[in-house]
Structure 1
Amino acid sequence: MISRRDAPQWVKEAGRAATRAGGRLTSGSRMLPDFLMVGTQRGGTTSLFRALAAHPATVQPNFHKGVHYFDVNYPRGLSWYRGHFPVRSLAERRTAAALREAGLDGAAPMAFESAGYYMHHPLAPERIARDLPGVKLIVLLRDPVVRSYSAHKHELARGFETEPFERALDLEAERLAGEIEKIKADPAYVSHSHRHHSYLDRSQYADQIERLFELFGRDRVLVRYAEDFFAEPEPCYDSILEFLGLPRWRPASFEQHNARPGSPLPDGLQRRLADHFAPYDDKLAALLGAEPAWRREGRR
């Protein structure tokens, strides 16, 4: 018998379509997220997602770490979104068994997903606040110089970018001109450039975090840094579990996923980006009451 992993792509897609259709029909009995990882893209979110997904009390979407409902799929409706998550009664049974096996007890299942565009999308935070009252948000930030360069390599590899990095930086303002207005005017509009070419804009974190604080309150938004998570994952992970109210537990190991090798950033571009982001990092430090990880102890 052929395994699901080895099945042809069309078979996998057909199976996913059937599951989503069934999910929509049973949406009323399915879970909605208790917490979301909302950013940032190329900020270590895949690694953190997998570490959180390993926790015996968490529940993830059926196929992908991110459903991208609140940014690019919102017109599909909440029933479509629910269809990506397990039936609550089934999740409760599975979670209870997993907790017993781990020597834990008493925790209810917590559903979550991760979509790095949620934090940056002009409408997604307001949609989340409206549709998921009480949801908690996790934000994982990364040195904006490193993140912007990594994002370019990522988009280049996926075919969404054709320009070299410095040229893409020069083109960014022109590419993004008017895109936010178009997104706000038409909820069904998906901006290719805003999603795939926001190397600088997406790395200017302070305004994005401030908007989350205004919509959700500081007590429901946890900001952590990729630099801290990769250097010492255990205390970072423990603090996230405490924020979520999950029982303390750790995976056997913390692994780094989705790293993209490539040539180092030239010194000239490094300085250009560091100078560009300096005032935004100052604002972030003032907002959070502490220097971001990449400016601590001369890391940059």
Structure 2
Amino acid sequence: MSTRRMVGHLLAPVRSRIGSRRGMTPGYLIVGTKRGGSTSIAHWISQHPQVAPCRLAKGTHYFDVNFQRGWQWYLSSFEPPTDGVQITGEASPYYMFHPLSIERIAAALPDVRLIVSLREPVARAWSHHQYETQQGFENLPFAEAIALEGERVEGEEEKIRTNPRYESYAHRHHTYLQRGHYAEQLERIYRHFSPEQVLVMRSESMFTDPQGELARVWSHLGLTPVHLDGLDRFKATHAPLDIPRALHERLTDYYRPWNERLEQLPGVGFTWNGQQTKRTGHGDR
């Protein structure tokens, strides 16, 4: 027997135990948005003594690209119940945008608490493009990528709905503009969940007043309020948005009706319209 096969044979029982070990059913999900601070929120929540973090660090991507792995695999991603722990959950920012995720979540976890963190959409789109470029998923400059976005993703949502096992590379990595259509995505959430189950956060507020925003999170999840130290290391880095002024203004105008539509939805109460959008941003950890 080769060394590789021998190692695989020895590890098989361990893998089997891990995959079959049933954990707590998630009570909260951070569903979006990409580059909107979801990683930081997930990290902060995991520090609460009444929270059991997901075994897969930030999240499982079960309800979007890993749905075929099955419910038992999903539950094995969470810790079993222990004394003092009240809730577990995860963060997968593609959930908010994926065409099938919210329907799947509603069917499997109808009582779950959802958290949505929204960032000014121009800054979000720019940060998303930077991230995909750094990860090797994008080779076009920002202006060209958003100009070709419609062509790149045309028909991809229909393919996902037709074949739930289909994973669209373009839909996941190249939807810089469409992911900023927050109103459309939040409206879909509200078709399946009551507004009381959804906490909508303004990403910028989270970084300027993390303790205040976390107080809202603790209340939303029914947890004892706690004060977390060291949150300053997650504050904005203020990397410059190197967007030509004309393009920046055009994108701000593009998102204006979307922002106005968002502001009218339950649980929002904020907008980026009528404010001078700073040409600086922060990275989503």
TM-score w.r.t. the length of structure 2 is 0.88
Q: 1:267 — aligned with what?
A: 245
Gaps in structure 1 of 5+ consecutive residues: 1-13, 97-107
CA distance in 2, matches of 1:223, 1:72: 24
Q: Residues 26 and 90 of structure 2 are in contact (CA less than 8 Å); yes or no, is this contact kept in structure 1?
A: yes
**Structure-2 separation of matches of 1:225 and 1:237:** 12
> Which amino acid counterpart does residue 56 of structure 1 have in structure 2?
P
* Aligned with residue 287 of structure 1, among 260, 265, 269: 265
Rate the CA distance shift 1:18–1:145 in 2: closer, same or farther, 3 A: farther
Residue in 2 that maps onto 1:103: none
Q: Which piece of structure 1 moves more, 149-158 or 61-70?
A: 61-70
- Aligned to 1:215, the other structure's residue is in SS state coil
Match of residue 101 from structure 2: 124
Distance in 2 between residues matched to 1:41 and 1:144, nearest whole Å: 11
Deviation of the 1:80 alpha carbon = 0.8
Unaligned runs of 5+ in 2: 1-8, 279-285
Distance 1:191-1:228 versus aligned 2 partners, 3 A rule:
same
Query: Residues 129-148 of structure 1: CA distance to partner in whole angstroms, max 9, x if unpaired?
Result: 00112101000000000000
Q: Which residue of 1 aligns with 2:70?
A: 77
| Separation in 2, partners of 1:199, 1:15 | 44
Within 5 Å, which residues of 2 pair with 1:50-65?
50-65=43-58
Q: Matches of 1:17 and 1:260 in 2, distance apart?
A: 46
Does structure 1 residue 152 correspond to structure 2 residue 129? yes
1:37-94 residue CA offsets vs partner (Å, 9 max, x unmatched):
0000000111111111111111111132010000000011001111111122xxx13x
Q: Deviations over 1:69-122 (max 9, x none)?
A: 00000011001111111122xxx13xx3xxxxxxxxxxx421010000000000
| TM superposition shift of 1:15 | 12
Partner Cα separation in structure 2 for residue 194 and residue 44 of structure 1: 20
Does residue 47 in structure 1 map to residue 40 in structure 2?
yes
Letter in 1 for 2:272: W
Aligned residue in 2 for 1:207: 184
Give the superposition deviation at 1:24: 2.4
Change (3 A) 1:252 1:285: same
The partner residue of 1:86 within 79, 85, 91 is: 79
Q: Is the 8 A contact 1:142 1:294 kept in 2?
A: no
Partner of 2:283: none
In angstroms, what is the RMSD of aligned CA positions? 2.4
Deviation, 1:253, is 2.3
Provide the identity percentage: 38
Counterpart for residue 189 of structure 1: 166
**Do residues 67 (structure 1) and 60 (structure 2) align?**
yes
Query: What's 2:202 paired with?
Result: 225
Question: Contact between 1:20 and 1:83, CA under 8 Å: does it hold in 2?
Answer: no
1:140 & 1:16 partners in 2: Cα distance? 39
**Whole-angstrom distance in 1 between the partners of 2:103 and 2:246:** 38
Equivalent pair of 1:53/1:59 in contact (CA under 8 Å): yes
Counterpart Cα distance in 1 of 2:87 and 2:110: 15
SS at 1:216 equivalent = coil
Q: Which moved more, 1:55-64 or 1:16-25?
A: 16-25
Cα 1:234–1:289, aligned 2, differ >3 Å: closer, same or farther? closer
C-alpha separation in 1, matches of 2:114 and 2:265: 17
Alignment match of 2:145 (pick from 168, 186, 189): 168
Q: 1:182 to 1:61 in 2, by over 3 A?
A: same
What is the number of equivalent residue pairs in this alignment?
A: 270
**CA deviation string 1:164-200 (max 9, x = no partner):** 0000001100011000010001111000000000001
Structure whose residues are more often helix by fraction: 1
